Structure 1
């Protein structure tokens, strides 16, 4: 196949020196011929459809990459192009050998830096390269490990150089990301291109992930069959949080944050609802200096105080070891050939970008003379310092950079500017070349290092962009190693050794996960109840806006004030605003603000934001159906917020759709998580929220006695907002009166929406919490709920419906009871929080240390 006969590539060619698919004579390379023949069979329309299928699958599975300060939102959809990147097994075999050598070499460097330091003592590497790098942590000096290999997980960024060979661009060693995305890319591409995938004999990834699971098990300092393994994440706002949750779900290990872990008597424990569970292995996604606020960055909230001490005692294994970030040092690159000869007595297999460390006089002078043709980097990236492209800088900028280099020469390294090879990308119905970088992954095994057969390929966002970055909108590709022999999938049931700390019960539930489940229940309950109430008020407003009767005005004033009480958006309709105006003068404006103002605490938009945050934090517990419904809720809400011509009718329609989807989502929660895996906490939170809001609603609409028709309409509105109007009519078959309404809303033992029923169920659920089962004595939260339930059972609906005297307009007994119940439920929430979710204990350093970011 030649391009002359293929109109797909008429706009493909550029002046790039190397393309992955085409030879210099414009013929298609052998690896790509079969793929293009398959694409030719599918056709452009078929490729468009398959790209749409990929986009749909990624969206359905909730694959995201978080981008800080992105105007389009934090969770940017992950992009995967339908065209994979191909390498033949013969070429990959040589790359694989080079990666194994480099991993072994960096492992020896890591041991030496924190051990004998022969590289420095014997003049192989200048000491400034090591000590001037902020990744070198003196606190990790001379730490001994039980494992032979210290570097357990290594990632290298590769790009093809002008000589046609793959060059090492970057080394990633402390918490390399991308394995989960590579696995998701493969899963998605395999589904969409299954017919091509099998025919081309693409190497599988299952065996690598089995070996990775074995690595985590073998890393345990105590050689037990089922060590307790956790994945440490910075949290849901981290850029690769999806991957953390994905790997936790795929491997079956708990996803924890720093506050989930605690050090006691030289051991690391995970805080669960039942107490402390010993942890043997931590797969960390937190950078080195944030892992231990006691010895490293004291302002870190991501790590565990005392973790380094546990490592020194060899009571926990960290993958990768704390301090391994020193290897992510471009200042080492010029010395790697000499290091390889020193340790291995052999040449470096994989070529590197030509680099000059400015701490040497000759090299510094060369850099200063050729600054306009070079790329200048700091030797570490821990403070997010800028990379300088000399060819893009002005004379003044170059002069400023020269001064910086002369002032701190050891801090800079220069590299030649190379043109990355290009790979084909399918974009808008045509093929375009994009600069590409491939991230490969290497793990320690019993007989050396094992390399993932493929990896994560990233390409530039457009054909004219040189830098390849996810933060800058890059696209990913699946990485295919084409094997002449058919490769077989390794069944997952061969993973015969698992971690005993899988989230199988309350005893194994991390405390932050339990707290997020609890608040997830509260926020979804709050969102649903308030959405229903606001919808009812909007309907009442819309139905009466053309009627001028005094009764309608009184009714609406009561409902508007209830909106403020239900949402807590004071002063709202209750009092004069700070600017001296009243919300009552323009009620629709205030209601729209209560619904849509995300910055207003208590608004529906703010509650939606909290609901989304709490659920995204437990992403690893979700089923795919849950994510799909969750995404439809998010899209619906975004459309509602972005609607420029929003009317009352449109808003009611939007609230109808929101309520329906929330109910579907709540149903899926009960199907997706077992009670003992944390659903119990969700139920408790949901029941507490429903109970509290039922009390608030009744205080707003039942305590004050109204006259004639107004009271009837208020009672009808109350039942309608509670989705109880039809139940009332069916049960009582009478004119709506206060006493039966109180009985149905508050006291009916058999009605699931009544307060008594909710409190009865809450009693049963909190009795299943760990502290409740430790003795025959009631806990404080059990006492509170028991007292609230008892007060309701002892009350009389007839007495509660009465006023103190005929002239009174306040049902004082009802008000007093509801106030007492509200306080008891508040105390219940506080007691549960203090018992199970108290993360306030903080240790601090004896000596202040500053680590720049």
Structure 2
């Protein structure tokens, strides 16, 4: 039976395959053979592309990009919450028949087992070093060799829970390993996201192809991780340790944490007490049994490893040595990623397993060996030069890309420190078809596969994460996930897979119901609510100002001054319009800056950026609909930037409507869809506190100064308009625009959801439901005292007295004093809540900080 079939080209749409791209001269083509015929696994793919045509393919491409963006799938290399890098995905999957895959799977299982044995030996018996199989310089000179991990206890047979391999095909189509990932292998979550997206945009093709599913692999992950702490407890507490929201793979970490059902924590969320690791939450400290880490070895423990790390948990290594917490993959496993080991891997396999390697590695030469060094120097233009000790800053140098001077410099660098370099044969990646710019082309391709330990050995994800070069100029696919485009990897089966039997957990009901969230998550949600309210209040007041300044009625100087100065006070961008007559006469530039100047603290854009930054920190807590709205908000912000590029646009108030609508959508979604847990509670506390303080500030800065009747009415109606209460006011009081009537609606009307008393009463309700930590406190808690004091001050206020003008100061002094008192009380409230429920303490540090260099 032939493994290729010639495509039938009869229509214009079929022209995609007449000559899709030039055949690579020195590389394997995944989809087409040397005659241009379609390989057997690709028949269904090419047929589907023919049926869809260029227009249908482009539509699927755009849908995929939209889904990825809505999912928040990013690969961030910057900290800009307005322009995250959306994960790059090509909609054409890579495919492989199951028979070919099973052979590769066996080789990957053997390789994972070998690296597991290698870790055990290097941190245990060290037979490989004693027998000279591995030169000792490779290990003892490596900064990733952690002597503290020697003979560390482990509860299961397999030390390496996860193992990943980067693979390329040579010209014959044979898979060759180019590198291993053993420390915190990334990419499995992106592979799952790719599968989710591609199966949605090509549902019929995916269903009819009988593609092997990924769910079994992730079920094995759950079972394996749960069993790691079976000797400690029947219901282990498992967390995913992330470097934080600005980690380049943060989306994957959050995505996996949600998919597996584990809390996502940062180093500051954990602490070491009494020889154990604890998670700091609202309910106090909760013991952690297993840490699935995504932080590199050196940054995991400030006390014993890198003292300048802000990502780890001081004392973690000592707790792991005692066996009181399981960190996986185990600390010290970064050592196994050195490419220098590949030069000795066949001998290592014979020594530890007595077997030949089923999966060959790329030919590697360690320059610390005199014979291999001589070969490298004589063949430098045909080799890839890599640092023997991987780091985030290490880069590979391709000899064929160097000029004469570059080769001389590289030679000098190698001779200066030979043990620090490894050379590998350059293997051009196989070419895979991609969809780009409305047409079919090809790019070099690389595959990362993933294995997880199980009771039977190692289970391999059926497929993995395929990646292709991102531009036509690139002939090499980066080993890092950035700078490349990903593809879904389909393993085509001739049978339908049976459903997976998911075992029931024995998690106690009390623990299942507990909203055990890290304090950091709660704090970010609290500030998310506060920044959202700041942005909304500023937007509403700014829209009102624009309407009044550009309205058909005359807007007197006195009214203009009050509203403009109130804008400066509400935004906190001072001095602003205060004591600057020239700005009052020509306010356009200042108003434009308060909208779009992100460097201006308190500006609308600055508040929105801060809100989005808080959302990034708690991405795993946000619903799909919330992420969609946040993406729309980003689009609206970019539209505002374009509209304001030359100052205020012609109708500035209309340009802000979309931002207000997005903020209202977020608020409504949270109110209607979020479970009433502690996450929702603190977000609401943040919102209500900020709205109350801003309302009090608005009343203080707009109604305290007496004005002539016309101007007073204009200002009062402007305030009512900015809080969506003008229509209700007119219906209730007709045309009697008295200040005391306005205060009645904005201060003490419980039916108005934007009134001051409504906010404080909601705060009283929410704060009363918070966990109590002061067991020995008698009477009311400090936070309740400030809430009740504010509530009493508002309820006991005499509105006519507040509206009276003080003869001495010629202001509404009582109103100013009351609003100031309410704002102070609420500010004290936020301080107490912060001190009580949020974590601000610094962890222990090394008394003597290490100064030795790691860049050997």
Instruction: Name the TM-score, length of structure 1 as normaliser.
Output: 0.95
Query: Within the alignment, does 1:556 sit opposite 2:565 as a pair?
Result: no
- Residue 161 of structure 2: aligned partner: 152
Residues 39-58 of structure 1: pairs in structure 2 closer than 5 A: 39-58=49-68
Contact 2:531–2:610 (8 Å) recurs in 1: yes
- Residue 317 of structure 2: aligned partner: 308
Query: Within the alignment, does 1:786 sit opposite 2:788 as a pair?
Result: yes
Distance 1:74 1:248 in 2: 24
Displacement of 1:593: 0.3
Q: Name the stretch that deviates more: 30-39 or 644-653.
A: 644-653
Q: Kindly tell me: are residues 539 and 495 of structure 1, through their superposed partners in 2, closer, same or farther at Cα, counting changes over 3 Å?
A: farther
Q: Name the stretch that deviates more: 746-755 or 360-369.
A: 746-755
Query: Within the alignment, does 1:487 sit opposite 2:487 as a pair?
Result: no
- Residue 796 of structure 1: aligned partner: 798
Distance 1:467 1:358 in 2: 23
Query: Within the alignment, does 1:531 sit opposite 2:560 as a pair?
Result: no
Residues 678-697 of structure 1: pairs in structure 2 closer than 5 A: 678-697=679-698
- Residue 518 of structure 2: aligned partner: 510
Distance 1:352 1:331 in 2: 12
Distance 2:86 2:506 in 1: 32
- Residue 28 of structure 1: aligned partner: 38
- Residue 590 of structure 1: aligned partner: 590
1:184 counterpart (182, 190, 193)? 193
Distance 2:259 2:506 in 1: 12
Distance 1:500 1:399 in 2: 66
Classify the secondary structure of the residue corresponding to 2:92.
Answer: coil
- Residue 640 of structure 1: aligned partner: 640
Displacement of 1:778: 2.0
- Residue 369 of structure 2: aligned partner: 360
- Residue 542 of structure 1: aligned partner: 550
Distance 1:337 1:3 in 2: 42
Distance 2:828 2:713 in 1: 34
Displacement of 1:383: 4.5
Displacement of 1:74: 5.0
Query: Within the alignment, does 1:700 sit opposite 2:709 as a pair?
Result: no
Classify the secondary structure of the residue corresponding to 1:277.
Answer: strand
Residues 284-299 of structure 1: pairs in structure 2 closer than 5 A: 284-299=293-308
Residues 446-457 of structure 1: pairs in structure 2 closer than 5 A: 446-457=455-466
Distance 1:73 1:118 in 2: 53
Q: Kindly tell me: are residues 142 and 74 of structure 1, through their superposed partners in 2, closer, same or farther at Cα, counting changes over 3 Å?
A: farther
Displacement of 1:582: 4.8
Listed as ranges, the gaps of 5+ residues in structure 1 are none
- Give the superposed CA RMSD: 2.1
Q: Name the stretch that deviates more: 503-512 or 115-124.
A: 503-512
Residues 324-403 of structure 1: pairs in structure 2 closer than 5 A: 324-403=333-412
Listed as ranges, the gaps of 5+ residues in structure 2 are none
Classify the secondary structure of the residue corresponding to 1:26.
Answer: coil
Contact 2:589–2:647 (8 Å) recurs in 1: no
Classify the secondary structure of the residue corresponding to 1:632.
Answer: helix
Distance 1:503 1:661 in 2: 36
Contact 2:44–2:205 (8 Å) recurs in 1: no
Contact 1:274–1:506 (8 Å) recurs in 2: no
Give CA-to-partner distance per residue, 1:371-420, whole Å, 9 cap, x none: 22211110122151222111212222222221211111100001111111
Q: Kindly tell me: are residues 215 and 650 of structure 1, through their superposed partners in 2, closer, same or farther at Cα, counting changes over 3 Å?
A: farther
Query: Within the alignment, does 1:566 sit opposite 2:561 as a pair?
Result: no
Distance 1:332 1:482 in 2: 34
Contact 1:512–1:837 (8 Å) recurs in 2: yes
- Residue 84 of structure 2: aligned partner: 75
Distance 1:94 1:501 in 2: 44
Q: Kindly tell me: are residues 317 and 797 of structure 1, through their superposed partners in 2, closer, same or farther at Cα, counting changes over 3 Å?
A: same
Q: Kindly tell me: are residues 175 and 500 of structure 1, through their superposed partners in 2, closer, same or farther at Cα, counting changes over 3 Å?
A: farther
Distance 2:509 2:820 in 1: 43
- Residue 757 of structure 2: aligned partner: 756
Displacement of 1:449: 0.5
Distance 2:129 2:715 in 1: 82
Distance 1:700 1:68 in 2: 39
Give CA-to-partner distance per residue, 1:331-366, whole Å, 9 cap, x none: 100000000000000111101111110001111122
- Residue 626 of structure 1: aligned partner: 626
Contact 2:558–2:707 (8 Å) recurs in 1: no
Contact 1:227–1:500 (8 Å) recurs in 2: no
Q: Kindly tell me: are residues 59 and 168 of structure 1, through their superposed partners in 2, closer, same or farther at Cα, counting changes over 3 Å?
A: same
Classify the secondary structure of the residue corresponding to 2:443.
Answer: strand
Query: Within the alignment, does 1:93 sit opposite 2:95 as a pair?
Result: no
Give CA-to-partner distance per residue, 1:230-255, whole Å, 9 cap, x none: 11111111111111111122122111
